[in-house]
Chains A and B, each alone.
Chain A
Amino acid sequence: MTAWTLPVADMLRRPLRTLLTAVGIAAAVSSYLTLVSLSRGLELGWIASLEGRGVHVLALSRDTVEVMASSLDAALGREIEAVPGVVQAAGEMANLVRFEVPGTETLHVTVRGWPADSFKWRSLALAEGRPPAAGEASGIVLGATLARLLRIGIGNRFVFRGATFVVTGVAAAGGVWNDRAVFMPLAAMQALFDRPGQVTEFSLQVERPGDAAFVAELTQDLERRFPRLAFLRAGEVAGQNDVVRTFRAFSGAVSWVAMAMALVIVLNTLLMSVTERTQEIGVLAAVGWQPSRVLATVMLQGLLLSAIGAAAGVALGAFSLRVVLRHPTLGGLVEPGLHAGVVVETLAAALLVGAAGGLYPAWRAARARPLASLRHG
């Protein structure tokens, strides 16, 4: 017999209650995992899209909530490039559009316009083909997933917003955003969206990207010179974005409500168990169990229930995440898959809930006087 024997025996004695409690915890853990994974996947999708294009620093309009809605003068790029430490400042126009794929589904596709001399064309990994040549206004590159869904490849025509393009390459840059993106010359995109001379952001390559101190000093210098712009390192962009922050806050709030429900479930189950077992707890005190051991036993039961619920919840969460990501909008924006950090965070949260839910029942059991408890019932 070990410290586990009594909690396990009690759980087996009431199998239906144990099962229902574990199911409740699993549902909460699953909700938590799904929501946090969506939030994290959105950030990771953005980061992957930038890193896949060799961007070190991103320059955005400081007061714009949604990057794609911002409007910057493309000529600013030359001024930014003139700052010592900046190798290139490539203007980019980005937009998110709904795209009908005949016979399948509606996709949300990122459209990106780059100048012909942008380093991004060179950084973009291609599965096949080439970027549009300078002056080739009708050439485009499609993300690999989009090309597959559209069933088109190199040399095929692609009609978009009434204009006809020719596919010159298929990108394999990685990241869900890139896989469903359309990359086209900046001038063509400005014309297509009626925004001549404008870009939504500038992507910078800097001299020593691996030198964090250098990059920090450079971005501070750039912000002094261009007070209307915010300069963010690629890894920070998603975290600083208001849309991502809002989504993160929303998913955080909902997921913690789910965990609070799990806490109440554990609390309720253990309180019932402790009340039912008052006489048995009196026996434990009568045979010399210290209050601390009684407390630890009830807490252990809470942790065990949570661990079982958490394990089932992670499996359920992984499944529900796959189902949710079939949605065309989310599927195109959120980096799929369970991330180890999120799973660890979820398991830790579940165990915390188990411990917190067990605390009050355990305290009640531990302070029980042996004689009064033995006379109970």
Chain B
Amino acid sequence: MAIPLVELVDASRVYDGGRVAALRGVSLRVEAGASIAVVGPSGSGKSTLLHLLSGMDEPSGGAVRFEGRAPGGPEAWCRLRARRIGFVFQGYHLLPALTAWQNVQLPMLGVVAGARARAERARELLERVGLGVRLRHLPSQLSGGERQRVAIARSLANGPDLILADEPTGNLDSVASAEILDLLTEVRGERGAALVLVTHDPAVAARCERVVRLRDGRVVDEARA
């Protein structure tokens, strides 16, 4: 069996000294180029799962492996997030003092050498997500859908192998949601990156190859869409 890009092995995450369990013994393999939707009711552990896959949180038990190995400490996960993992948040999390163009360049500092190269790549990415004319706009001057496009462009900044999206359409209307979903699907296809997407929306989940259903911190169902 091929080594997955990233996997959770019997991973659990508890809080408050064990009184609250967000994840209970979850195993999940994410192969290179795969697209997986993680669905489930609120509090089922979907976001926690995504945080473990990105190394932004650590499991209380079990393991998270990237290409078959545990990356090690927070700094190793930082390097992975900089070069191999792109993250799209529900709340966009763009830096308000920076323009769209600068926000997209943010992950490239220390990774892509040369200010001109970073600027050019960010321009290409923003053009790709349809914001070529909004380069110098601040997040406050953009609509919700446009902000999420900037966030997607940012997640692609360093050509990641894995894109993690935490309810990327959660704050958007249906038209903007459809556009963002199309965009994510397209850029994933173009770049051959794996996509793990957390969503409440069955229509969104249906766009992925696999759907993993969580309830009370456990995988209760896994199906091919």
Contacts and interface: CB of A to CB of B under 8 A. Distances in A.
A20 B96 CA distance: 22
Contact of B82 (A2, A288, A370, A371): A288
Interface string B77-114: 01111110101010001111110011001111111000
Contact of A6 (B89, B98, B115, B119): B98
Contacts of B56: 285-286, 369-371, 374
A287 B106 contact: yes
Contacts of B51: 371
B16 interface: no
B118 A288 contact: no
Interface stretch (A7-15, A22-30, A197-205): A7-15
Given A1-B109, A9-B98, A371-B57, A285 B78 contact: yes
A1 B93 contact: no
A309 B23 CA distance: 51
Given A5-B102, A9-B102, A286 B81 contact: yes
Interface residues of A, number: 26
A12 B119 CA distance: 21
A370 B93 CA distance: 12
A293 B96 contact: no
B190 interface: no
Contacts of B54: 286
Give chain B's interface secondary structure class: helix
A287 B107 contact: yes
Interface string A164-191: 0000000000000000000000000000
B98 A288 contact: no
Given A13-B96, A280-B95, A288 B57 contact: no
Give chain A's interface secondary structure class: helix
A6 B110 CA distance: 14
A288 B95 CA distance: 15
Contacts of B221: none
Nearest to B83: A288
A3 interface: yes
A6 B95 contact: yes
B173 interface: no
A50 to B, nearest CB: 55
A5 B93 contact: no
A139 interface: no
A291 interface: yes
Contacts of A5: 98, 102
Given A5-B98, A371-B56, A287 B87 contact: yes
Nearest to A2: B115
A2 B116 CA distance: 10
A21 interface: no
Interface string A46-57: 000000000000
A283 B115 CA distance: 21
Interface residues of B, number: 37
B160 to A, nearest CB: 10
B106 A284 contact: yes
A289 interface: yes
A293 B81 CA distance: 14
Contact of A1 (B81, B96, B118): B118
A13 B98 CA distance: 10
Contacts of A3: 109
A290 interface: yes
Contact of B95 (A283, A285, A369): A283
B111 A13 contact: no
Nearest to A9: B97
Interface in A262-295: 279-280, 282-291, 293
A289 B109 contact: yes
A286 B97 contact: no
Contacts of A12: 97
Given A1-B102, A1-B106, A289-B78, A283 B93 contact: yes
Name the 10 nearest CB pairs between A and B, nearest first.
Answer: A288-B82, A288-B81, A9-B97, A1-B105, A287-B107, A13-B97, A370-B56, A283-B93, A371-B56, A1-B102
Given A10-B97, A287-B154, A290-B82, 13 more contacts: A1-B101, A1-B102, A1-B106, A12-B97, A280-B95, A282-B93, A283-B95, A287-B87, A288-B80, A288-B111, A291-B75, A293-B110, A371-B57
20 contacts: A1-B101, A1-B105, A1-B108, A1-B109, A1-B115, A6-B98, A12-B97, A13-B96, A283-B95, A283-B106, A285-B78, A287-B82, A287-B157, A288-B79, A288-B82, A288-B158, A289-B106, A370-B56, A371-B51, A374-B56
